Amino acid sequence: MASHNESPPTELFDLAGNQHLTTDSANVESRETASLPPVDGGKEAWLFLAGSFCIETLLWGFPFSFGVLQDFYSTHPPLSQDAKGISAIGTTCSGLLYLGAPLVFVAFQRWPLLLRRGIATGLLIVVLAVFLSSFATKVWQLILTQGILYAVGGNLVYYPIYVFIDEWFVRRKGLAFGVMWAGSGCGGLVGPLVLNWGLTKYGVVTFLRGWSVSLLLLIAPFLFFVKSRLPPSRSHRVPVRAIAAGFGFVKTRQFWIIEMCNIIQGLGYFIPQLYLPTYARLNHLGSGSLLVSVLNIAQVPGVMFLSALTDRVSVYIIMLISSLGSTLAIFLLWGLASSSTGLLIAFSLCYGFFAGGFTAVYAGAAQELRRVTPGGDTGRADLGSMLGLLGGGRGIGNVVCGPVSEALLQHSRSWQSAAGYSGSFAPLIIFAGTTAALTMSSWAAKVLKIL
């Protein structure tokens, strides 16, 4: 909590900007606290977590399934006539969903009322983005709608949940984040199958319009359960000093090492999800949408397992497990799967488990940065500030991933020879594996006592 000493009595603000303690109102606050729902359990907490899981599933189902839509766009008119830049649609969406985190968290802290109104507003923006994209005939129009507009709305829907989790769960915070993040894997399982079915049966225009309506009808009911545990803020604005005090962790070496590895991981993370459908189609290795679904569902046990470990081992061990497993999966399974559907399925399972589980690093990083950040009013590390900057770092990697991956393919051999290390996908495989391997440098820095 950050103190505000401009005028007595002293006021403190939590992550969401809730003014929850003053020297003149301690008795009132004690009575309010006693009437609040319990943390780490109880009907309200579990309903909140269930609603958060479902919103995560529905919201992240699109960017985690975009490889199917990308393959459809590149093989069907009018976009197939000029397919350049299609991969940037999905990476723009996922990248901005991460990259917008710092700005959104700061806005939520500065204007607490936005936190509670943002979810409904964001949902309407997401629905509008999908609906408008059904009219698109150019790549730039899809980047604007499915990429930018969807991400703007998604930020407003998604990041209030992080704030609320910090209120609902204390001792079980790692478990709570793991359950919520597992939703993206479930969305990634169902999403490719639904996309493949809908695009094949109804075409892109009808499917996208129906999908926009479905998002509204499916997400809206959960907004009743996904809400703050604490009373509404008594202040319309939180002092800038109170917000700035939460960024004391940026002065630590631990933050910059973790953030550097986080950005590097984001550079290659989405490459398999984007290109597995195309790779499978060109090499006649089964259904690309099924492979993406297998990869995404493997994230569920991966992120839950690694999230649970964050309460027992250091974040550097979590990063080592995730990065080493991802590296081996890429180089030994994807790189050698040029003529084996079984190897490609094995790659999807292993990569989904280890790379998808990397999200658990954020919970572990929050604990580590709170441990190493100096205390006092000018040296704090609150959850929103940390997750915002970490999410933004991963967003940088995701946004850059699109143009980099296209450049790698354009400068490789013809797609007529697409198999493994001997074909045009070799640069992508090597790039993805190298970025995964470099992510282990944080663990190396810890072992070498640089941290």
The Cα 267–Cα 407 span in angstroms is 14
CATH number for the domain whose boundaries are 37-447: 1.20.1250.20
The pTM of the full predicted model, rounded to 2 decimals, is 0.72
Q: How many residues does the chain have?
A: 451
Please report, in angstroms and rounded to a whole number, the separation of the first and last CA atoms in the chain: 26
- What pLDDT is stored for residue 10 in this prediction? 37
Nearest to 352 by CA among 276, 292, 310: 292
The Cα 235–Cα 215 span in angstroms is 33
Split the chain (451 residues) into runs of 10 and give each run's mean pLDDT: 39 42 42 67 87 90 81 80 76 83 80 78 94 90 93 90 82 79 80 87 91 92 85 61 76 91 90 83 77 84 85 89 95 82 90 90 85 63 78 82 81 53 80 94 87 70
Residue 49 near residue 229 (C-beta atoms within 8 A)? no
- What pLDDT is stored for residue 377 in this prediction? 41
The Cα 189–Cα 57 span in angstroms is 9
- What pLDDT is stored for residue 32 in this prediction? 46
Residue 232 near residue 290 (C-beta atoms within 8 A)? no
Cis peptide preceding 427, ω within 30 of 0: no
